[in-house]
Amino acid sequence: MRDAYQEQLDTLAEELAGMCDQVADALAKATKALLESDLQLAEEVISSDIRIDELRAAAEEKAFALLALQAPVATDLRTVVSAIHGAGDIERMGDLALHVAQAARRRHPDPVLPADVSGYFAEMGRVGCQLAHKAGDVIRSRDLARAEELERDDDAMDDLHRHMFTVLMDPAWEHGVGPAVDITLLARFYERYADHAVAVARRIVYVVTGRMPGPLAV
């Protein structure tokens, strides 16, 4: 019985880690669609988001079943509760990638981004995907050092997010209000995506140590 129960916990963790990989792929495709005005790729991200929603629902159903049938305690209880919260964080990452793809579709065939800021968003996309993959690695390994790396990687995203405001407030900005609004919203989507990845890693720290790291507004 114990072996079967542990196998269920391991399966749940692997499903959540797989979700991290899927939302990383979604952000990579959404970023490419954004940078290249690729309508087909944007539509692919939009249509595939329902699958991430379904995976969240399935993970939550399994977690609640474990709570009801196994009455876990201590580390196992923290694992199940963190899985419920983590599934929500990962699903939200998928939603944020969806928002990026929707912006690319909304402006098609025109580009969303002026050429002089596209490089920043390429880097935000790279950092976001890296964070999502690392979050999946942390779920699989419960490696606390790896979890701490996400905090440092998130600092890079925060720096990029802040820099975009510097660009937009520069008197030399010549692209008008519309692009400025798009850029403000998009930069926020990437920044929030990163925050949710860090939240997933922090929940693993809680599982392992019994202590939740300092608060993160997500």
Do the beta carbons of residue 189 and residue 60 sit within 8 Å? Answer: no
Return d(Cα 132, Cα 119) in angstroms, integer.
20
- The mean pLDDT of 6-16, rounded to a whole number, is 94
Residue 75's CB: how many other CB atoms inside 10 A?
13
Asked if the model's pLDDT at residue 216 lies above 80, the reply is no
Looking at residue 10, its pLDDT comes to: 94
pLDDT in tens, 41-78: 999 999 999 999 999 999 999 999 999 988 888 999 99
| pTM of the predicted structure, to 2 decimals | 0.94
- The mean pLDDT of 147-174, rounded to a whole number, is 94
Top CATH class of 2-209 equals mainly alpha
Looking at residue 218, its pLDDT comes to: 43
- Higher local confidence (pLDDT), 165 or 216: 165
Per domain, the residue ranges of the chain are 2-209
Query: pLDDT averaged over the chain?
Result: 94
Q: Residue 111 region, left (φ>0) first, then alpha (ψ -120 to 50), else beta?
A: beta
Give 109's DSSP letter.
Answer: T
What percentage of residues in the chain have a pLDDT greater than 90? Answer: 90
Return d(Cα 51, Cα 136) in angstroms, integer.
17
Looking at residue 1, its pLDDT comes to: 57
Looking at residue 5, its pLDDT comes to: 85
- How far the first Cα of the chain sits from its last, in Å, is 37
Residue 110's CB: how many other CB atoms inside 10 A?
7
